[in-house]
Amino acid sequence: MLITIAVILIILWLLGVVTAYTLGGLIHILLLIALVLIVVRLIQGKPVV
């Protein structure tokens, strides 16, 4: 479940970067959340993929 959310957030971030969306700050917050979720999974010892 966490990896799905992380992937969705990363895709949304990439769309924001590519289209230069005006809510750039929000997109970067979503990226940060996605990265935190991935790190938490790694710390828990679960596979990321």
| Structure confidence by residue, pLDDT tens digits, 14-42 | 777 666 655 667 777 777 888 888 888 88
> What is the reported pTM?
0.51
Question: CA torsion angle for 16, 20, 23, 27 (degrees, to 10)?
Answer: 30
pLDDT-based confidence at 46, cuts 50/70/90? confident
Contact 33, 26 (CB under 8 A): no
